[in-house]
Structure 1
Amino acid sequence: MKKMNKLIAFVLAGAISFASLAGCAGNGASSATASGSASGAASSRKSEASDTLTYAQGAEPRGLDPALVDDGESAKVTCNIYEGLLKYDKDSTKVEPCLAKTWDISDDGLTYTFHLQEGVKFQDGTDFNADAVVYNIDRQLPPKVTKDMSYASFVYSSVKSAEAVDENTVKITLNSPCTPLLKNLAMVFGAPVVSPKALKDNNNNVNQAPCGTGPYKFVRWDKGEDIVLIRNDNYWGDKAKCKNVVFKFIADNSARVVALNNGEADMIDGIDATVVSQIQSAGNKLYQAKGMNTNYMAYNASKAPFNDAKLRKAISQAVNVPELVTSLYQGYSEPATSVLPTFIGGYDKSITQTAYDADAAAAVLKAAGLTQVHMITYTNPRPYNTVNGQALAEAIQGYLSKVGVTCKIDSYDWTTYKSKVTEGDYDICFYGWNGDNGDPDNFMSLMSVDDPSQNVARYKNPEFNKLIAQGLSTPEGDARNAIYTQLEKIAAEDNVWLTISHAQNLCGYRPNIHDFYYHVTGDVPLAGVSKD
């Protein structure tokens, strides 16, 4: 892999250099010159630019190992490098074949047999086969699973074992039926198959040396700047339309808009309402779709003061959520009346969160003597919160000041923030969730898992956890939906979170970009995108 990367870097030197300076053909490749050689060079650079996609995102990935990351910024890159046994339909979370071409499920729901694609190679030239699949699953099962594999429990919690029946057949045996298993195996976290050789060569951590079977392969990562990918010309499926992809990291919303309008980026995300007109007036296009996400404020229920549900309720009463959402998001997010987005099974419109009542909040907080809280938040935009966590925290701070509570806010970049959340030194934190697979368990289990990077409220409720387990094993249908509706009611009554909003997916892109889409899961598959 290292030798291959050196060769790729040499061949791409001109293209990458140009991409970082110009980004797209729309700016003009060079000044006019009478020199034939200069004209030819300009033409060559223009050709390279038209074969390079530059995507600007609001934060740097935490890493590129799908078992060791859990953030959307990483997923945007990794979904172009790796594949799993299954994948989602372009327009939904309907499961489709990928590295597994077919599968069988036993009558008791405890055995899944996957029949694999043949002749597939990893990007390091090694064979994809049943042993590779088993290696990746075993890596995330006890006793090998590590604490930093935060999605292992989401994907494989019901898995007892995996075995290679033959070179192209894998059998997965479960401890108990798991209704969302197929959807879990299509997720961009935990489920993608990594080259076993790459894992062995990199001490079980390919965050800096990703190697999958996908349409693009890794070239380099300049920290704080960008990640560069190149088309995998040995890809087993349809080849990517553009040769090169550059993921640029631009934290500031307005700076990303400038990069788009100047042609330094072809696509940008993390857009809020304040920049939509700038994007469209410059002749660029807006991608807009309903998001599968929830933006929320979590109480640290593991310690005082918010181990007291009455105080969690009082703080929630102090915040006028509909007013807040209208002010901050200006029509591009809707107030969240539940944890679940409205189109996910288990959503029930009769569920309501704690209503705004500043007077009642002030009375309870005064009686309890609660006058100060410690908040932590993030500084970058997120798919569920396009204005960034700092702006949201300050808005909440304003509401709480009206009921006699002072807020100390500590803000961090996203990578640091994830560590701070795990450490747990806060009364309140700001978080959100972009659904991975369209299943209600993917949202509701965030309040039952032991992992503090997922269950940021550190909420523990045996009744809640029992229902979570029941929901996992219940077949899809009304009975299963009713379980998740009940879980919603418990979360609302206990005020585990203050649910704030469901955001639309908003991206800007240049008019010469074709077939770009932002998947409902937050992934950004770029293999099918072309550029004039």
Structure 2
Amino acid sequence: MKKNYRFLALALSLVLCIGLLAGCSGGSASTTATPAPTEATLADTLIFAQGADPRGLDPAMVDDGESSKVIVNIYEGLLKYAKDSTALEPCLAESWDVSDDGLVYTFHLRQGVKFHDGTDFNAEAVKVNVERQMQGNATTDMTYADFVYGYVTKVDVIDDYTVAITLKDVCTPFLYNLAMSMAAPMVSPKALEEYNGNLNENPVGTGPYKFVRWDKEQDIVLVRNDDYWGDKAVTENVIFRIIKDNSARVVALNNGEVDMIDGIDATVVDEITAAGNIVDQPDGMNINYMAYNTTSDIFKDAATRKAFSQAVNVPELVQSLYQGYASPADTILPSFVPGFSADIKQVSYDPDAAKTALAAAGVTKVHMISYSNPRPYNTATGQVLAEAIQGYLAKVGVDCTIDVFDWTTYKEKVKAGDYDICFYGWTGDNGDPDNFMSLLSDKDPAMNVARYDNAAYNDLIAQGKAAPEGADRDAIYKQLEQIQVDENPWLLISHSKLLSAYSPKVQGYYYHVTGNIFLSQMSKTN
């Protein structure tokens, strides 16, 4: 067999790290010589490569998928989703009760659970985690805080393992929100105190893996939590490797340097399978879109937004970029999310009408910003998508300038708002329609990147949150989707399959519908 020396170098580096894990975990570092890497060592390490560095590893402080994929292996919430869906299951809470008026949720907590720093998980820890993100306490960095906890008015510790959370209004998605990977996971109160309220670089949870180190834009190393309350992780060591270039990730997989990758597109599928690796492609719970900055001089008017959308042949664009691994989007909601309606149709391609309307409005130039890396909802990268849109707009007399940034920088640029058009998307957190539709009512510009504000839309969002699950609630979301069509704050582009790939040596592989990768029950053969 041909030896892969780059892989052996990686393995040696890993073994050196493993030899120091006791020191990383607070124990004594060994002074004995580190043994040479063996096949057994390599089989006890899973390496997952993604296209960008996480923004951070504190679930209250981040809102991106790259962070989320690491976070779900370190932390846990009161509830969790089923392996193959967003159905709710117990996690750190064994059970829960809801008051008759729908305002008080009482959680009965799992006993004997400890955070990675050895402190107890209990009702006081839940109180700290929730109150940290309640209105009045949450910082501007906590972009999911209002989404998850905005309805919470108080948290009461009933006893060591019982906690009651009171809401100001009925919120049907609340339980689903508590299983999300953002804001909802429980972090160690002791660690929060030690690290001044920010665990982005010092994550401490209760999950199946513990944090070892993060070499920025290179690797994040985790080790099995042998004190985990549930089923112990099958594989001892996990590495999240950052490989920004799409083709380089494919080469790394095909060479055996990594075991799993995501952020791939249709152009590399044949290359991956020809090398004997496996491409996973379930339908994604996502939306890929172009957002008009509704506060900019150009896009304050819905008619101008409509004209821009008419300039883009979305079905042609989707087929060209994604080659059958994504479908054109007529609605914000994927077809399997409650509230989806096949009756909703977006603005049709009409370049002549677009050219006439834009000329009459005097629009000849726009400023676009986009991102350089692939995303689960856009495997072609933001830059490629922006350039394709640029080509369509040139045909109707509009010159587009494009500024492209790495993902972390891009998030800051979006928050600053210096653009006419930006490119974004959403991977659903919880399977509830509110999780998608409320993006256009959010007051946070990092979430509502179109900066859209419509009183009628906001009122319907409030009604949808309070309505019980069923046909009446679904009808509310159909109304919301029609407003999106009429007002056109977004040009909807596609719903993407969740493309990822893995070595046949990996056993138990699955990529969750939320875009997360749960590694604890995966293993690798020699």
Which interval holds the TM-score relative to the shorter structure?
over 0.9
Aligned counterpart, 1:529: 522
TM-score (norm 1): 0.93
Whether the 8 Å CA contact 1:177–1:473 is kept in 2: the answer is yes
Amino acid at match of 1:210: P
Q: 2:358 aligns with which of 338, 358, 365?
A: 365
Whether the 8 Å CA contact 2:76–2:207 is kept in 1: the answer is yes
Aligned counterpart, 2:234: 241
User: Hey, what's the Cα distance between the residues in 2 that align with 1:153 and 1:343?
Assistant: 26
Aligned counterpart, 1:194: 187
Aligned counterpart, 1:341: 334
User: Hey, what's the Cα distance between the residues in 1 that align with 2:340 and 2:158?
Assistant: 40
User: Hey, what's the Cα distance between the residues in 2 that align with 1:508 and 1:291?
Assistant: 15
Shift of 1:14: 9.4
Shift of 1:159: 1.0
TM-score (norm 2): 0.94
Q: 1:465 aligns with which of 446, 450, 458?
A: 458
Aligned counterpart, 1:136: 129
User: Hey, what's the Cα distance between the residues in 2 that align with 1:15 and 1:398?
Assistant: 45
Whether the 8 Å CA contact 2:374–2:382 is kept in 1: the answer is yes
Once the two structures are superposed, what CA deviation does each residue of 1:97-142 show, in whole Å capped at 9, x if it has no partner?
0000000011110111000000000000000000000000000013
Aligned counterpart, 1:4: none
Aligned counterpart, 2:388: 395
Aligned counterpart, 1:17: 13
Shift of 1:45: 2.3
Aligned counterpart, 1:483: 476
Whether the 8 Å CA contact 2:457–2:480 is kept in 1: the answer is yes
Amino acid at match of 2:107: F
Percent identity of equivalent pairs: 63
Q: How does 1:91-106 map to 2 (within 5 A)?
A: 91-106=84-99
Aligned counterpart, 1:122: 115
Aligned counterpart, 1:260: 253
SS at match of 1:482: helix
SS at match of 1:289: coil
Aligned counterpart, 1:405: 398
User: Hey, what's the Cα distance between the residues in 1 that align with 2:440 and 2:511?
Assistant: 27
User: Hey, what's the Cα distance between the residues in 2 that align with 1:254 and 1:14?
Assistant: 19
Q: How does 1:34-49 map to 2 (within 5 A)?
A: 44-49=37-42
Once the two structures are superposed, what CA deviation does each residue of 1:242-278 show, in whole Å capped at 9, x if it has no partner?
0000000011111000000001100000110000001
Aligned counterpart, 2:140: 147
Q: What runs of 5+ residues in structure 2 fail to find an aligned partner? A: 1-8, 18-33
Once the two structures are superposed, what CA deviation does each residue of 1:16-68 show, in whole Å capped at 9, x if it has no partner?
614799xxxxxxxxxxxxxxxxxx966x5221111000000011000000000
Q: 1:174 aligns with which of 162, 167, 171?
A: 167
Shift of 1:182: 0.6
Shift of 1:302: 1.0
Amino acid at match of 2:13: S
Shift of 1:472: 0.4
Q: 1:448 aligns with which of 441, 446, 456?
A: 441
Shift of 1:465: 0.3
The alpha-carbon distance between structure 1 residues 335 and 105, as it changes in their structure 2 partners (threshold 3 A), is same
Whether the 8 Å CA contact 2:135–2:150 is kept in 1: the answer is no
Whether the 8 Å CA contact 2:77–2:92 is kept in 1: the answer is yes
Amino acid at match of 2:304: L
SS at match of 1:268: strand
Shift of 1:15: 5.6
Q: 1:251 aligns with which of 244, 247, 252?
A: 244
SS at match of 2:40: helix
Shift of 1:147: 1.1
SS at match of 2:74: coil
SS at match of 1:364: helix
User: Hey, what's the Cα distance between the residues in 2 that align with 1:127 and 1:311?
Assistant: 56
Q: How does 1:500-519 map to 2 (within 5 A)?
A: 500-519=493-512
1:273 matches 2:269: no
The alpha-carbon distance between structure 1 residues 334 and 276, as it changes in their structure 2 partners (threshold 3 A), is same
SS at match of 2:38: helix
